[in-house]
């Protein structure tokens, strides 16, 4: 549609231009009398053809530009637009004050004023976007403006480990996670460096993290927002994440055990997917019977080890001789560790395990 409109406008303008050129040639007596009417017709037709070709080229370029512009706006959060516009207005206002004096110097003053308006407007926009979190906290606009706008629920900061893990997508699909998922630019850079690693395992992990972000962007109940907020004085990514969480008040979502502990010491709210997974694992009480495949030897003499479908480790006393087989076991105790639950069992048929 855009191409058609631009082409029609171009045809009209070029046709009119061809007509005016023909009339100009007639007014200057360049054309002889019998040729005047024919020249006007030829001029209009030539203008029409030129307008059709030029209009198509310009129309397609204009349509592509609008498409890229629309895609860019879709990727920009409402918070970025808000603070960017406020920054532009503030910059233009600052440039207006010295411009009153510059206007007295004629063309030189006007040129300097225009450059000053452009510079201050751009600087104001960048400051508004980059310092969005601090400005939000200063004016008490809440975490949605501090981290991300759009969507419902609380904004959360995602670290590299939880993105690569990928379970956060399944949690969001199930409807237990809503709102804005804030990904700092320095986390994206870390993911990119992992994806470009020469090590195959690291490269696959990095690419998986990027695929997880793409999958989250396609969900309706969450919105992935990228923030440019950075802390140049801090070198480590984990320390930057803690600083960002403290600055914005947004909880930090991670699977990193060390980051979890360091952030808790500094008073940062943590959402750990591993802890959530452990809480949701089915409860096994002492005395319950399980059917488990023993796959390897345990640490203690005679022990065998198997796993439930959810990954919970099951230690079978005297189960070494059953390695590679399925066995019926009875739970004796459950131990909760930082890495998850461990279920200690013994063979239901003791004679078989002896």
Confidence band of 36 (pLDDT split at 50, 70, 90): low
User: Looking at residue 70, what is its pLDDT?
Assistant: 66
Question: What integer is the mean pLDDT of 129-141?
Answer: 64
pLDDT tops 70 at residue 150: no
How many folded domains does the chain comprise? 4
Q: What CATH number should be reported for the domain holding residue 324? A: 2.40.50.140
Are 103 and 160 in a shared domain? no
Question: What integer is the mean pLDDT of 40-55?
Answer: 81
- Please give, one letter per residue, the 3-state secondary structure of the chain: CHHHHHHHHHHHHHHHHHHHHHHHHHHCCCCCHHHHHHHHHHHHHHHHHHHHHHHHHHHHHHHHHHHHHHHHHHHCCHHHHHHHHHHHHHHHHHHHHHHHHHHHHHHHHHHHHHHHHHHHHHHHHHHHHHCHHHHHHHCCCCHHHHCCCCCCCCCEEECHHHHHHCHHHHHHHCCCCCEEEEEEHHHHHHHHHHHCCCCHHHHHHHHHHHHHHHHHHCCCCEEEEEECCCCCCCCCHHHHHHHHHHHHCCCEEECCHHHHHHHHHCCCCEEEHHHHHHHHCCCCCCCCEEEEEEEEECCCCCCEEEECCCCCEEEEECCHHHCCCEEEEEEEEEEEECCEEEEEEEECCHHHHC
How far apart, in Å, do the first and last CA atoms of the chain sit? 81
Confidence band of 158 (pLDDT split at 50, 70, 90): very high
Mutual angle of helices 185-195 and 237-248, in 10-degree steps: 150
Question: What integer is the mean pLDDT of 308-329?
Answer: 86
Which one has a higher pLDDT value, 10 or 129?
A: 10
The residue among 55, 75, 95 that closes a domain is 75
User: Looking at residue 147, what is its pLDDT?
Assistant: 47
Chain mean pLDDT for the chain: 80
Are 250 and 167 in a shared domain? yes
Are 71 and 83 in a shared domain? no
In the chain, the percentage of residues whose pLDDT exceeds 70 is 83
Confidence band of 57 (pLDDT split at 50, 70, 90): confident
Are 305 and 257 in a shared domain? no
Are 10 and 95 in a shared domain? no
- Please give, one letter per residue, the 3-state secondary structure of 127-181: HHHHCHHHHHHHCCCCHHHHCCCCCCCCCEEECHHHHHHCHHHHHHHCCCCCEEE
Pairing mode of beta strands 270-272, 252-254: parallel
Question: What integer is the mean pLDDT of 217-227?
Answer: 86
d(CA 77, CA 224): 9
Confidence band of 148 (pLDDT split at 50, 70, 90): very low
Are 199 and 237 in a shared domain? yes
70, part of any domain: yes
Confidence band of 79 (pLDDT split at 50, 70, 90): low
Are 26 and 59 in a shared domain? yes
Q: Which of 59-63, 119-123, 232-236, 318-322 has the lowest mean pLDDT?
A: 59-63
Q: What CATH number should be reported for the domain holding residue 248? A: 3.40.50.1010
Are 205 and 254 in a shared domain? yes
Torsions phi, psi of 290, nearest 5? Answer: -135, 155
Confidence band of 234 (pLDDT split at 50, 70, 90): confident
The residue among 86, 101, 130 that closes a domain is 130
The residue among 264, 279, 294 that closes a domain is 279
Confidence band of 311 (pLDDT split at 50, 70, 90): confident
144, part of any domain: no
Q: Which of 42-56, 62-76, 167-181, 258-272 has the lowest mean pLDDT?
A: 62-76
Confidence band of 59 (pLDDT split at 50, 70, 90): confident
Confidence band of 177 (pLDDT split at 50, 70, 90): confident
User: Looking at residue 305, what is its pLDDT?
Assistant: 92
User: Looking at residue 144, what is its pLDDT?
Assistant: 47
Q: Which of 152-166, 188-202, 304-318 has the lowest mean pLDDT?
A: 152-166
- Closest by CA to 349, choosing from 324, 326, 330, 321, is 330
Question: What integer is the mean pLDDT of 18-35?
Answer: 65
Asked whether the beta carbons of 51 and 16 are under 8 A apart, the reply is no
pLDDT tops 50 at residue 152: no
Residue entry with tokens 């070709």: 53
269, part of any domain: yes
137, part of any domain: no
197, part of any domain: yes
Are 180 and 291 in a shared domain? no
User: Looking at residue 163, what is its pLDDT?
Assistant: 92
Residue-range definition of the domain harbouring residue 296: 282-353
Are 154 and 232 in a shared domain? yes
Confidence band of 164 (pLDDT split at 50, 70, 90): very high
Asked whether the beta carbons of 291 and 328 are under 8 A apart, the reply is yes
Which one has a higher pLDDT value, 36 or 46?
A: 46
pLDDT tops 60 at residue 53: yes
User: Looking at residue 306, what is its pLDDT?
Assistant: 92
39, part of any domain: yes
Are 35 and 99 in a shared domain? no
22, part of any domain: yes
138, part of any domain: no
Are 295 and 272 in a shared domain? no
Q: What is the pTM of this model?
A: 0.48
């Amino acid at each position: 549609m855009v191409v058609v409109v631009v082409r029609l406008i171009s045809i009209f303008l070029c046709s009119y231009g061809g007509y005016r050129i023909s009339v100009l040639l007639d007014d200057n007596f360049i054309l002889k009398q019998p040729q005047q009417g024919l020249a006007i017709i030829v001029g209009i037709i030539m203008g029409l053809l030129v307008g059709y070709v030029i209009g198509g080229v310009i129309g397609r370029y204009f349509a592509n530009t609008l498409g890229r512009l629309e895609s860019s706006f879709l990727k920009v959060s409402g918070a970025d637009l808000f603070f960017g516009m406020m920054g532009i207005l503030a910059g233009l206002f600052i440039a207006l004050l010295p411009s009153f004096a510059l206007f007295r110097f004629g063309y030189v003053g006007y040129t300097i004023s225009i450059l000053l308006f452009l510079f201050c407007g751009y600087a104001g926009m960048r400051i508004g976007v980059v310092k969005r979190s601090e400005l939000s906290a200063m004016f008490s606009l809440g975490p949605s403006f501090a981290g991300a706008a759009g969507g419902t629920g609380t904004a959360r900061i995602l670290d590299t480990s939880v993105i690569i893990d990928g379970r956060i997508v399944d949690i969001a699909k199930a409807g237990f996670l809503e709102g804005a998922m804030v990904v700092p630019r320095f986390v994206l850079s870390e993911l990119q460096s992992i994806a470009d690693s020469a090590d195959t395992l690291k490269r696959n992990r990095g690419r998986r993290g990027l695929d997880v972000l793409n999958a989250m962007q396609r969900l309706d109940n969450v919105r992935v927002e990228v923030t440019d907020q950075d802390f140049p004085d801090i070198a480590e990514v984990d320390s930057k994440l803690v600083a960002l969480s403290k600055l914005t008040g947004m909880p930090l979502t991670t699977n990193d055990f060390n980051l979890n502990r360091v952030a808790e010491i500094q008073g940062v709210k943590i959402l750990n997917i591993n802890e959530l997974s452990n809480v949701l694992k089915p409860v096994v009480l002492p005395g319950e019977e399980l059917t488990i495949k023993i796959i390897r030897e345990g640490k203690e003499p005679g022990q065998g080890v198997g796993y439930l479908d959810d990954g919970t480790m099951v230690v079978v006393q005297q189960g070494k001789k059953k390695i590679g087989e399925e066995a019926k076991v009875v739970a004796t105790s459950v131990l909760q560790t930082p890495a998850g639950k461990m279920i200690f069992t013994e063979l239901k048929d003791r004679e078989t395990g002896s």
